[in-house]
């Protein structure tokens, strides 16, 4: 079926005579990514349609072809030029990051980026009016291309943005100059510093687009723009005042202060580099463009940018895992309306699925509905949108949704007997082809499936708290799981805009297995008298979003204790037992943030920390970090997860592991596996067997693991796979 956008474009092209059998029609076929034609009013239409791709991105060959199209336009100037996309996804998703990641020196970056600057500068200086017609998503280099046009028209639903800061970069194709000239410079800088997308109406208000135009009126609006009948946006008097040197210096100080709180400059240099550009060169377009190019080249060669680009591709790799041929899930039924179950149900409804929610306590179901309403408000959904979302979440006090759902998710407390009782009641009522999933955070599926008559439909879907913020879902399989059930579970995570980490069942799976020794070592340090604030400071200085003590309070001390006890029981590990005082806290109901007191006291959702405290020991970082890395290596060696990339992605998106370091295994590789092993051995001598290095750190251990893996694979091939 043809996309509506493509249908609309084709109809318009025929109406305008854009592809009639004349010379211009032949010219449209000269390029792979662009189509150039003229209508009967002598307006040129340049359509961006990147070959072999569902989306448009700016690559080297795309820009070369654009340059050739500009040759044609300069040789025979039209009355005006309209540029738009033939892709339903939007105008352009930005630069081809894979090409940037292959560059190896600042000089190479400047050379290639300089050629790109020459092309877009030519577009900007064309002697006739130019109009960019935007729809869908316009990001990064795509927005920079649009900013080179005299006018920008946006179809309702358009979103624009500069996400480069999330890759450790800033705009590099003149965007820092053109956006701060066009829009209020403070708003423009905020947009670039946050990397957030701006919806159509706000983009119009900021002056980034000159008019919002319904699709059916695009041709008329383009004609009006070419005639000069649409007012061009500008930043006005306020923009001129804020561009003066004293104003830039004052605003830059405030920007640095705000930025440093979220992105420490020692770890994330791009925000400071962007602020420096505007502070030093704002108002001088030639100097700022030159400085922008040099700054971009420097940033691209930093470890931060390289690692954040790696994270970008890790996210993309996980998204591709959701692209299966499985039927989509339409109705989700959640059993258990506690903190996790209620939030899972709410998130599924928010993402457009029909959801029913059962709990034996009606108040919990009502609380889940209230939290969904609050989420809609936080996400700025309209009253009508909120009403539709809430209508999709049905309280189900009779548990009837079990019989109608495509997917039943069990989210009851982490006790085997309670979960198995849910399965005992639900399994006979499941519809044919329905999936039974568990949100267990640590219990092996071999244990949970013991009383099921048909264990082939049981899969793990482990969400992370808070569900609406944490993008990861551990999709846990076992040796009796059907392949089509696993595929449908992975596809479901894509339906609800989450990222799947496919795992084989094991105690604690991956994230909790790696996170627990990190948290428990913090408890040991507390027991030794190291201040909580000092422990957290060490981790935060490394780049963690919060320290392990604060994180334990966030997760809940009862959950930390339960998972720690389970891993000690089920794994051959010497992880220390929790201190007695921690068990007393849990027994007394002081569980952390959710009760207002734990390892810290919590006020207004934040922990109260001392300003002055003794420093942590010199080896504190390795004591915290290396057990986490050791657990990741064990999971890789045991094939709990397929490869280092997925392990890194799971830890970044499931725990917030310092993204600029590229993940725990990437950090370990850069540090050196031998160094990690030797330091673990040193810590083992000083503190005990809990630091014993996994065999996978040594070349011999890795070779042995690979041989065992090969033997297992051969065995599987001989036996075949009954589950498929």
Q: Two tokens at 472?
A: 């990861």
pLDDT of residue 231: 87
Residue 706's pLDDT is what? 65
| Strand 331-335 with 407-410, pairing | parallel
Residue 708 in any domain: the answer is no
pTM greater than 0.85 (yes/no): yes
Same domain, 122 and 186: yes
pLDDT, block means (10 residues), the chain with 724 residues = 37 36 48 94 96 94 97 96 96 92 92 96 97 97 97 96 97 96 94 96 95 96 95 77 87 94 93 96 94 97 96 96 96 96 98 97 96 94 95 96 97 94 96 96 92 96 94 97 97 98 93 93 95 97 95 91 83 79 93 93 94 95 97 96 96 95 97 97 95 91 64 45 40
Residue-level pLDDT at 715 = 46
Q: How many CB atoms lie within 10 A of CB 412?
A: 20
In a domain, 261, yes or no: yes
Whether residue 154 is found in the same domain as residue 218: yes
Q: Do 268 and 346 belong together in one domain?
A: no
pLDDT of residue 542: 96
- What distance in Å separates the CA atoms of residue 312 and residue 168, rounded to the nearest whole number? 11
Does residue 722 lie within any of the structural domains?
no
Q: What is the pLDDT of residue 571?
A: 76
Q: What separation, in Å, do the N-terminal and C-terminal C-alpha atoms of the chain show?
A: 31
Q: What is the CATH number of the domain that holds 20?
A: 3.90.226.10
**Does 421 lie in the same domain as 519?**
no
User: Is the bond into 466 cis (omega within 30 degrees of 0)?
Assistant: yes
The total of structural domains in the chain comes to 3
Domain closes at, from 469, 486, 504: 504
pLDDT at 708: 61
Q: Are strands 159-161 and 137-139 parallel, antiparallel or unpaired?
A: parallel
Give me the CATH number covering residue 638. 1.10.1040.50
Q: What is the 3-state secondary structure (H, E, C) of 120-189?
A: HHHHHCCCCEEEEEECEEEEHHHHHHHHCCCEEEECCCCEEECHHHHHCCCCCCCHHHHHHHHCCHHHHH
Whether the CA torsion 125, 126, 128, 129 is positive or negative: it is negative
- The reported pLDDT for the residue numbered 719 is 36
Is there a single domain that holds both residue 149 and residue 292?
Answer: yes
Report the phi/psi class of residue 353: left, alpha or beta, with left for phi > 0 and alpha for psi in -120 to 50: beta
Q: Are residues 18 and 133 in the same domain?
A: yes
Tell me: do 496 and 519 sit in the same domain: no
501 closest CA partner among 631, 649, 633, 638: 649
Query: What pLDDT is recorded for position 577?
Result: 81
**Residues shown for the chain:** 724
> Does residue 315 contact residue 653 with C-beta atoms inside 8 Å?
yes
Residue 548 included in any domain: yes
320 within domain boundaries: no
Residue 720 lies in a domain: no
* Residues 491 and 383 reside in one and the same domain: yes
Helix (H, G, I), strand (E, B) or coil at 479: coil
Q: What is the separation of C-alpha 708 from the centre of its chain, rounded to a whole number of angstroms?
A: 35
Among the candidates 504, 535, 555, a domain finishes at 504
H helix intervals, 263-302: 270-281, 285-300
**Closest among 475, 479, 520 to 500, alpha carbons compared:** 475
Residue 558's alpha-carbon distances to 202, 348, 413, 430, in angstroms, are 44, 27, 12, 33
Identify whether 462 is a catalytic site residue.
yes
List CB contacts of 172: < 8 A, sequence separation 6 or more.
Answer: 95, 113, 164, 292, 293, 296
CA distance 351 to 389: 8
Q: Which of 33, 333, 462, 478 is catalytic?
A: 462
Contact status, residue 509 vs residue 481, Cβ threshold 8 Å? no
Burial level of 175, CB count in 10 A (0-12/13-18/19+)? buried
CB atoms under 10 Å from CB of 436, counted, come to 26
Query: How far apart are the C-alpha atoms of 159 and 142, rounded to whole Å?
Result: 12
Domain that includes residue 692, residue range: 511-698
Does any domain span residue 644?
Answer: yes
How far apart are the C-alpha atoms of 340 and 392, rounded to whole Å?
Answer: 18
505 by DSSP, 3-state: which? coil
Same domain, 498 and 516: no
Could you tell me the CATH number of the domain that includes residue 335? 3.40.50.720
Alpha helices of 465-612 — where are they, by DSSP H?
483-495, 511-527, 532-542, 548-555, 557-570, 580-587
Pair (77, 94) in one structural domain: yes
Instruction: Calculate ∠ Cα 306-311-316, nearest 5°.
Output: 125
Q: Are strands 354-358 and 331-335 parallel, antiparallel or unpaired?
A: parallel
Classify residue 556: in a domain, yes or no.
yes
Same domain, yes or no, for 132 and 214? yes
55 plus 203 within the same structural domain: yes
- Integer-rounded Cα radius of gyration of the chain: 28
How far is Cα 110 from Cα 107, in angstroms, rounded to an integer? 5
């Amino acid at each position: 079926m043809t996309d509506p956008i493509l249908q609309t474009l084709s109809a318009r092209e025929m109406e305008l005579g854009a592809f009639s059998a004349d010379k211009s029609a032949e010219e449209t076929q000269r390029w792979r990514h662009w189509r150039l034609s003229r209508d009967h009013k002598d307006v040129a239409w340049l359509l961006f349609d990147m070959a072999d791709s569902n989306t448009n991105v700016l690559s080297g060959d795309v820009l070369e072809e654009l340059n050739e199209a500009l040759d044609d336009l300069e040789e025979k100037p039209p009355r005006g030029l309209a540029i738009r996309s033939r892709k339903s996804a939007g105008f352009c998703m930005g630069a081809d990051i894979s090409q940037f990641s292959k560059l190896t020196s600042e000089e190479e970056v400047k050379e290639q980026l300089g050629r790109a600057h020459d092309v877009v500068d030519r577009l900007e200086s064309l002697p006739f009016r130019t109009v960019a017609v935007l729809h869908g998503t316009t990001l990064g280099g795509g927005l920079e291309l649009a900013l080179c046009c005299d006018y920008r028209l946006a179809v309702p639903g358009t979103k624009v943005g500069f996400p480069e800061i999330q890759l450790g970069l800033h705009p590099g194709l003149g965007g820092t100059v053109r956006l701060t000239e066009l829009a209020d410079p403070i708003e423009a800088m905020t947009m670039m510093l946050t990397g957030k997308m701006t919806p159509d109406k706000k983009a119009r208000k900021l002056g980034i687009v000159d008019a919002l135009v319904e699709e059916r009126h695009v041709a008329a609006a383009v004609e009006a723009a070419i005639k000069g009948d649409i007012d061009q946006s500008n930043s006005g008097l306020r923009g001129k005042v804020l561009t003066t040197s004293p104003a830039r210096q004052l605003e830059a100080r405030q920007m640095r202060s705000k930025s440093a709180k979220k992105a420490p400059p020692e770890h994330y240099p791009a925000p400071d580099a962007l602020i420096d550009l505007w502070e030093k060169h704002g108002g001088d377009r030639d100097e700022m463009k030159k400085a922008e190019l040099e700054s971009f080249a420097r940033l691209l060669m930093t470890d931060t940018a390289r690692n954040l680009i790696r994270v970008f591709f890790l996210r993309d790799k996980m998204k591709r895992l959701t692209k299966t041929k499985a039927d989509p899930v339409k109705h989700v039924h959640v059993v258990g309306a506690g903190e996790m179950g209620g939030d899972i149900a709410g998130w599924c409804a928010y993402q457009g699925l029909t959801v029913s929610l059962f709990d034996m306590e009606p108040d919990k179901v009502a609380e889940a509905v209230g939290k969904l309403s609050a989420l809609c408000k936080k996400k700025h959904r309209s009253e009508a949108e909120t009403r539709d979302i809430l209508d999709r979440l049905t309280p189900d006090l009779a548990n009837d949704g079990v019989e109608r759902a495509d997917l039943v998710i069990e989210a009851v407390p982490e006790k085997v007997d309670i979960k198995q009782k849910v399965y005992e009641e639900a399994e006979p009522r499941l519809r044919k082809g329905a999936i039974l999933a568990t949100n267990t955070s640590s219990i092996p599926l071999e244990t949970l499936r013991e009383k099921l008559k048909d264990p082939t439909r049981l899969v793990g879907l482990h969400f992370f708290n808070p569900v609406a913020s944490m993008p990861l879902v551990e999709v846990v399989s076992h040796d009796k799981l059907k392949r089509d059930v696993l595929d449908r579970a992975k596809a479901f995570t894509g339906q609800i805009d989450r990222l799947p980490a496919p795992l084989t069942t094991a105690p604690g799976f991956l994230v909790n297995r790696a996170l627990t020794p990190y948290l428990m070592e913090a408890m040991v340090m507390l027991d030794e008298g190291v201040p909580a604030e000092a422990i957290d400071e060490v981790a935060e200085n490394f780049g963690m979003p919060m320290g392990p003590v604060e994180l334990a309070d966030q997760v809940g001390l009862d959950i930390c204790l339960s998972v720690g006890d389970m891993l000690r029981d089920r794994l051959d590990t010497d992880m220390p037992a929790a201190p007695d005082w921690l068990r007393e806290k849990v027994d007394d109901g002081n569980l952390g943030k959710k009760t207002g007191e734990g390892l810290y006291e919590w006020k207004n959702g934040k922990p109260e920390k001392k300003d002055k405290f003794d420093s942590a020991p010199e080896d504190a970082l390795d004591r915290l970090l290396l057990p986490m890395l050791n657990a990741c290596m064990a999971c890789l060696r045991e094939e709990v997860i397929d490869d280092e990339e997925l392990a890194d992605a799971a830890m970044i998106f499931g725990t917030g592991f310092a993204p600029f370091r590229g993940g725990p295994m990437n950090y370990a590789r850069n540090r050196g596996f031998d160094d990690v092993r030797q330091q673990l051995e040193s810590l083992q001598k000083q503190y005990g067997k809990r630091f014993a290095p996994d065999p996978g750190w040594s070349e011999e251990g890795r070779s042995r693991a690979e041989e065992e893996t090969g033997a297992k694979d051969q065995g599987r091939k001989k036996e075949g796979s009954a589950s498929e």
